[in-house]
Amino acid sequence: MERLQKVIANAGVTSRRKAEELILKGLVKVNGKVVKELGSKVSDKDRIEVDGNLLTKEAKVYYLLNKPRGVITSVSDEKNRKTVVDLIPCEERIYPIGRLDYDTTGVLLLTNDGEFANILMHPNDKVDKKYIAKVKGIVKGDTINALKNGVIIDGRKCEKAKVKLRKIDLKNNTSMVEIILHEGRNHQVKKMFESVGFEVLKLKRERVFIFDLKGLKSGEYRMLSKKEVAIVYSLQKK
């Protein structure tokens, strides 16, 4: 017997967190009856429906995408814009782990394994994310120190970050800054720079945990190895 939200996540429908939301909204049925209790347990013999769709098991798949600009980090889009799922042709119902803005590029992981996704999205000081931001203006030491120590965005102080000035372009009045975070708050990098008076012109995520863009051009993807998947799962034991 396993918890209902875990079974839904492991079936590749969505993440465990989203599965919990669906249960609370009354969109999940077990053997024809609506279940709203998060502690409910089910077995392999139970018939589970999620938002009217019968739950079926499918093979777990894991992808690393170099997300290009102008692509939505979503499974579908009301405006019929291209989504990250459109870039990876596969039979499984994959979804992105976390989000990257429409104009942000770089590392994005996609899977149908809710448990795997939950490990990487859950706050963990071992799962860091490295970004390269091109900002308008010349960034100096005091700004770097402020970002390192944690600025306040949306009324809450950010955790300390690793920040390094990569280069400045006096002619074009721009700076390239590397920033490594453990948090994953909405539009965090852009808001952090905005809080210290700088506009982000371009943003690229170069790494998430052990996953980087090596060998991948913009829009290209690859499947993760069994070893890489195992390394992510090993975080549960730490």
* Active site residue ranges: 101
Question: Is the distance from CB of 209 to CB of 126 less than 8 angstroms?
Answer: yes
Residue 181: other Cβ atoms inside 10 A: 21
Strand segments (E) across 112-228: 129-136, 152-153, 156-157, 162-169, 174-181, 199-208, 211-212, 221-223
CA angle 18, 203, 162 (to 5 degrees): 85
Question: Is the distance from CB of 175 to CB of 168 less than 8 angstroms?
Answer: yes
